[in-house]
């Protein structure tokens, strides 16, 4: 019931867009957008990939923009769900919470690889209020990391002289994982999460005694 996810791990609430047909459309959109880009993808091909008539798409989405919005909504929701779930189970120390949050954050780019690629690269083509909605959702997730950084800086756990850039750097380097990760490749999702937790901790200068 969340077919946009590559490895099926159902720990998430109900998907924002229900209906099997709508899901098929979104799934095909992820394929097409990730391969040809928002503007390069044609709804005809997208419909074909979804096993749906071109015109029938319009019974589920008012237009191309809204399909993109649908994809991005799922992406934003999935990522935040992962991060918040991780934080709920994390240890007390800032360092632990930070590492766990980063682990979940990067895990999103592994588990939802394809959709995350679309979310990253096609977001720019979202317009107006749709764009604002997604920005707000994304900012909410990023805010979690900003606050963790501040907290770690305040109590001396993190010693980086550039907390703001460091936060951005952490989020960015995690995002790049979707570009090279291949399911069934050298690393398991767990390993990726562990590695990037470590890299992040180093980045914010929270290693050592």
Report the interface residues with a copy of itself, using CB under 8 A: 36-40, 121, 124-125, 160-162, 165-166, 168-169, 172-173, 175-176, 180, 195-196, 198-199, 202-205, 207-208
The crossing angle, in degrees rounded to 10, of helices 128-154 and 64-89 is: 20
Please give the span between the terminal C-alpha atoms of the chain, in angstroms, as a whole number: 45
What's the sign of the alpha-carbon dihedral 203, 207, 189, 15?
negative
Structure tokens belonging to residue 156: 């001396």
* Neighbouring C-beta atoms of residue 31, cutoff 10 Å: 18
Q: Which does 55 bind (CB under 5 to 8 A by kind): a copy of itself, DNA, none?
A: DNA
Question: Considering only CA atoms, which of 11, 13, 29 is closest in space to residue 21?
Answer: 29
- From 5, 29, 43, 149, residue interacting with DNA (rule: CB under 7 A): 43
Q: At what angle do helices 128-154 and 163-175 cross, to 10 degrees?
A: 120
Q: Which does 58 bind (CB under 5 to 8 A by kind): DNA, a copy of itself, none?
A: DNA
Of the candidates 35, 65, 130, 199, which one interacts with DNA according to CB under 7 A? 65
Q: Which of 2, 35, 48, 54 binds DNA (CB under 7 A)?
A: 54
* CA 57/CA 47 separation, integer angstroms: 7
Question: Please, are residues 3 and 27 in contact by the beta-carbon 8 Å criterion?
Answer: yes
What is the nearest approach in angstroms of DNA to the Cβ of residue 41? Answer: 6
- Sites for DNA among residues 103-162 (CB under 7 A): none
| Residue 141 contact among a copy of itself, DNA, none, beta carbon within 5 to 8 Å by kind | none
Q: How many residues does the chain have?
A: 209
Q: Which does 65 bind (CB under 5 to 8 A by kind): DNA, a copy of itself, none?
A: DNA
Closest approach, Cβ 152 to a copy of itself, in A, equals 14
DSSP conformational letter for 183: T
Q: Which of 53/188 has CB closer to DNA?
A: 53
Q: What is the contact surface with DNA in residues (CB under 7 A)?
A: 19, 21, 41-45, 52-56, 58-60, 62-65
């Amino acid at each position: 019931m969340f077919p946009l996810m590559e490895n099926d791990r159902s720990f998430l609430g109900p998907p924002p867009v229900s209906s099997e047909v709508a899901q098929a459309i979104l799934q095909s959109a992820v394929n097409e957008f990730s391969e040809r880009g928002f503007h390069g993808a044609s709804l005809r091909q997208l419909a074909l990939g979804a096993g749906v008539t071109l015109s029938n798409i319009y019974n589920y989405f008012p237009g191309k923009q809204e399909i993109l919005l649908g994809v991005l909504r799922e992406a934003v929701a999935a990522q935040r769900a992962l991060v918040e779930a991780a934080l709920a189970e994390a240890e007390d120390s800032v360092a632990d919470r930070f590492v766990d949050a980063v682990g979940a954050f990067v895990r999103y780019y592994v588990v939802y690889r394809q959709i995350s690629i679309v979310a990253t690269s096609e977001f720019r083509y979202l317009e107006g209020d749709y764009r604002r909605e997604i920005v707000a959702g994304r900012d909410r997730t990023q805010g979690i990391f900003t606050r963790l950084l501040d907290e770690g800086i305040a109590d001396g756990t993190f010693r980086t002289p550039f907390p703001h850039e460091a936060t951005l750097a952490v989020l960015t380097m995690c995002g790049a994982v979707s570009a090279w990760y291949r399911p069934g490749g050298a690393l398991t999702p767990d390993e990726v999460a562990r590695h990037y937790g470590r890299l992040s901790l180093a980045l914010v200068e929270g290693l050592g005694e």
